[in-house]
Structure 1
Amino acid sequence: MKKKKRYFYNIVSLLIFLIGLLILLYPFITAVYYDYQASNEVQDFDQHTKSLNEREIDERIQKARAYNSTLTNHETLHDTFTVKQKEEGKALYAHMLEVHEKIGHVEIPRINQDLPLFAGTSDRVLNKGLGHLERTSLPVGGKSTHAVITGHRGLPDKKLFTDLDKVRIGDVVYVHNIKEILAYKIHRIKVINPHDFKYLKIEADKDELTLLTCTPYMVNSHRLIVTGHRIPYNAEQQQQHALEQRPWWYKFMNVYKFYLIGLLLAIILYLLYRWYKKKFHNKINKEMDTSNSI
Structure 2
Amino acid sequence: MREDSSQGRRGWRPNVLAIIIALVGLSGLGVLLYPSTAAWWSQYHQSQAIEAYSSSVIEDAPPGNELELGRAREYNQLLGSGEVVVGSDSHKPTTDLERAQAIEIDGIGYWDLLLTRHDTMARLKIPSIDVDLPVYHGTSDATLERGVGHLQGTSLPVGGTDTHSVLTAHTGLAKATLFNNLNKVEVGDTFTIEVFGDVVTYRVTETRTVLPSETEAIRLRSGEDLVTLVTCTPLGINTHRYLVTGERITPTPIADIEAASEKPDIPGFPWWALVGATGIVVVSAYVWRSGYPPKRKSTSASTEDATAPTKGH
Q: TM-score range by the shorter chain?
A: 0.7 to 0.9
Task: Give the C-alpha shift of residue 10 in structure 1.
Answer: 3.1
Amino acid at match of 2:152: E
How big is each residue's C-alpha offset from its partner over 1:187-222, in whole Å with a ceiling of 9 and x where there is no partner? 011111112211111112211000011112222111
Matched, 1:37 2:45: yes
Label 1:76 to 1:275 Cα distance change in 2 as closer, same or farther (>3 A): closer
1:115 counterpart (128, 133, 138)? 133
- Superposition TM-score, scaled by structure 1 size: 0.82
Which whole-Å CA distance do the structure 2 matches of 1:197 and 1:23 have between them? 39
- Superposition TM-score, scaled by structure 2 size: 0.78
Matched, 1:270 2:281: yes
Match of 1:17 in 2: 25
1:194 counterpart (188, 201, 212)? 212
Match of 1:92 in 2: 109
1:81 counterpart (69, 79, 91)? 91
Q: SS where residue 54 of structure 1 aligns?
A: coil
Which whole-Å CA distance do the structure 2 matches of 1:39 and 1:208 have between them? 26
Matched, 1:209 2:219: no
How big is each residue's C-alpha offset from its partner over 1:221-280, in whole Å with a ceiling of 9 and x where there is no partner? 11111101100211326889xxxxxxxxxx8x965x13x445324422331232123212
Q: SS where residue 97 of structure 1 aligns?
A: coil
Match of 2:155 in 1: 137
Which whole-Å CA distance do the structure 2 matches of 1:169 and 1:189 have between them? 7
Q: SS where residue 292 of structure 2 aligns?
A: helix
Task: Give the C-alpha shift of residue 11 in structure 1.
Answer: 2.7
Length, aligned pairs only = 271
Label 1:196 to 1:275 Cα distance change in 2 as closer, same or farther (>3 A): same
1:234 counterpart (249, 253, 274)? 253
Match of 2:65 in 1: 57
How big is each residue's C-alpha offset from its partner over 1:68-95, in whole Å with a ceiling of 9 and x where there is no partner? 0112324243446167899xx6983042
**Which sits farther off after the overlay, 161-170 or 209-218?**
209-218
* Ranges in structure 2 where 5+ consecutive residues have no aligned partner: 1-12, 103-107, 260-264, 303-313
Q: What is the root-mean-square deviation in Å for CA atoms of aligned residues?
A: 2.9
Which whole-Å CA distance do the structure 2 matches of 1:154 and 1:271 have between them? 32
How big is each residue's C-alpha offset from its partner over 1:43-101, in whole Å with a ceiling of 9 and x where there is no partner? 11111111103011111111111110112324243446167899xx6983042212211
C-alpha contact 2:144 2:169 (8 A) present in aligned 1: yes
Amino acid at match of 1:280: G
How big is each residue's C-alpha offset from its partner over 1:6-52, in whole Å with a ceiling of 9 and x where there is no partner? 74333322222211111111111112222222211111111111110
Amino acid at match of 1:38: Q
Label 1:263 to 1:74 Cα distance change in 2 as closer, same or farther (>3 A): closer
- How much identity, in percent, do the aligned residues show? 29
Q: SS where residue 25 of structure 1 aligns?
A: helix
Amino acid at match of 2:115: E
Which whole-Å CA distance do the structure 2 matches of 1:211 and 1:83 have between them? 11
Amino acid at match of 1:13: I
Q: SS where residue 39 of structure 1 aligns?
A: helix
Task: Give the C-alpha shift of residue 107 in structure 1.
Answer: 0.3
Q: SS where residue 176 of structure 1 aligns?
A: strand
* Ranges in structure 1 where 5+ consecutive residues have no aligned partner: 241-250
